[in-house]
Structure 1
């Protein structure tokens, strides 16, 4: 029996080694220049024949290649003629690194028990060696906001990059905001009790909103007063009032969005972002007047109501962009593995009439702005992190988005994953 245990342990170790994440890349040691690619800056600008240089993890030059010469003796030069270079794509409200296998409870760390828990930090549960996280990189998804789920206030999110040994190394912005799920104003009649089965106003809605008002008042009173006993939830909400954190409100319907905006204004909460916003196109004037952006859900979905246009999810980005709203995209409503399709969700939106460079902003500069990281990421500009990738073709088209190189903070990262290894293994199976 003892011998069997040793053999079993050895087999488990071997399996772990086989499926482990690629070793994180070493720090950039030599200047790098990418020459000849079509550069999609991420702010709507395109440079057809570009040169991009970066040193010590920061972009040092972005220009037309005809205007600058490079010295191959002092830097590594990547000839990307005929290819395309993009800023790393950013997803938000994701459970990447918090859930490995949905059906295995021990690998699911995305929610804690309780209803009001702003002090719960998703970052410390983030698994940097997740196979799911690793699978994002070959499609150019290199950065994500990791957010908790469950309860009225689910906790605090953080923003990470996808090439790290642990959560400390992965963190780009720690505890960037608190996530609140707005109460649903509507409910369905209980037909089994003889009620009209249609939609009606929820009798609990007013009470639930009042509970949120009380929470804000109590937490402010606590923060101003003398603290004989430490209250962790109230302590965690301080950033909402001094402007150092965002309040991410998960809400879909028109009335909920309207009431959520009124709520933040009434309590002088400085920074607010809507997550979801399925009916945001109905209140664009209100959103624009209050300078509130929306992280919409992915486009590959069905309408929520039989009365909606069949293609409403596809054209939602255009409706909001045309109204002057800052639009990003979240992937909290898809399975973790499907997050890698982020660029193709945007490709679908571009087919609805948005200029392709404007559509690209949804998962680059716009999302970076809404997450408060646009000083470091989201565009290919001097001084920003060299988090970018080179693709054989259009990165928003699943047929041509074939990455040849990807960099995070100037470090050349591996594009191998558990899935690419399996693809290579079985691609020759039927050729012999």
Structure 2
């Protein structure tokens, strides 16, 4: 019996050491932040601002020069900057912890068409990767499944929670589809020509997608003798309550994807990746389709693209009136999500106005994800999800957070990384 008790004590001690820190309590006192330069997320900037919030909601946004009573605890942020919480679109945070450990990876499911697979219920709110987002101002994310033709359903979470139920901001916001390419490469490992060539299966692949949409629509409109879960999950695409995120590259593929989805009755569409979108901007504007770009720190996919294509594409699309956000899909995407503000900063360094770059990870992301009524800008009535930075939050040299709030809750900015940094800093100071 003693051995069992000792084992349990060791287990709980180890659990307390490795577990994420306790999520912040619900806001109980009003807070006023004055003196900071407020970047509202909609392109506007207020010097010497006053931001007040209570019970998780913003109650005042304006100048600190106004004669208005400060509420509750007053934070003097003179010389600092205040921003809306950053939103990571198309991320897989919390769905995998260590890529080399299969048991910790839950980003995709077996099968080709899985619209009924919900990423939210697999989300690990206690992921150590998730907690490392907050010190850079990344406070919300769209948790997105991967794989297959239809990957599944994403949800939007805030990044300081006990579990996925507490974390959820918007449940089952969108279904994600991977559009086929009209080109293919040979399998070099089988001796095939690795050069890029037209894919003779492209027509059949797109016909299969048309048929799947048609079958789902007919099922939903008819008498249901048996329940088809994948088709049931498609209902939101046809009634407008969900958005279809199409992961697609290529001018032809983008045009086909939009045309086929619209003709199938899908009401709301967003594009992910969308290389070649600059050639079909009129189509995107006409259909009010937003674009979630890939991270800029990569090489262009086409040999015909300019050397700086991946850095300037955001400005090209936004100048045409397209709503553009930054997505995280790619190599080491979960760990790299903490660099979201610096990707926006890279777009800013290549022609995009700094406040427009900020929109890509605040108001534009919120609009594309369908949560702009709650977050994305510093506005009265919206969630008090925001942070204070010592300097420019899009610059890794000056993105130093002193305070962060999610729904008014004063959250911890400590992570296992900051704890290790402090531990070993003290070690070398003592020598």
Query: Scaled by the length of structure 2, what TM-score is found?
Result: 0.96
Q: Distance in 1 between matches of 2:397 and 2:187?
A: 48
Q: Cα offset for 1:183?
A: 0.8
Establish whether residue 361 from structure 1 lines up as the match of residue 370 from structure 2: no
Q: How many residues align?
A: 429
> Partner of 2:405 in structure 1?
407
Map 1:22-421 → 2, pairs under 5 A: 22-71=21-70, 75-189=72-186, 197-335=194-332, 336-421=334-419
Higher mean displacement: 306-315 or 386-395: 306-315
Over the aligned positions, Cα root-mean-square deviation in angstroms equals: 1.7
Q: Distance in 1 between matches of 2:29 and 2:5?
A: 45
Q: Cα offset for 1:69?
A: 2.9
Deviations 1:98-133 (A, max 9, x none): 111111111111111011110000000011111110
Q: Cα offset for 1:19?
A: 2.0
Query: Scaled by the length of structure 1, what TM-score is found?
Result: 0.96
DSSP 3-state at the match of 2:65? helix
Q: Distance in 1 between matches of 2:39 and 2:176?
A: 32
DSSP 3-state at the match of 1:360? helix
Q: Cα offset for 1:383?
A: 0.6
Deviations 1:49-80 (A, max 9, x none): 10000111000110011013334xx5110000
Gaps of 5+ in 1: none
Higher mean displacement: 241-250 or 327-336: 327-336
DSSP 3-state at the match of 1:206? helix
Q: Distance in 1 between matches of 2:11 and 2:319?
A: 54
Q: Cα offset for 1:258?
A: 1.0
Establish whether residue 16 from structure 1 lines up as the match of residue 15 from structure 2: yes
Higher mean displacement: 60-69 or 390-399: 60-69
Runs of 4+ aligned structure 1 residues displaced above 4 Å come to 2-12, 189-197
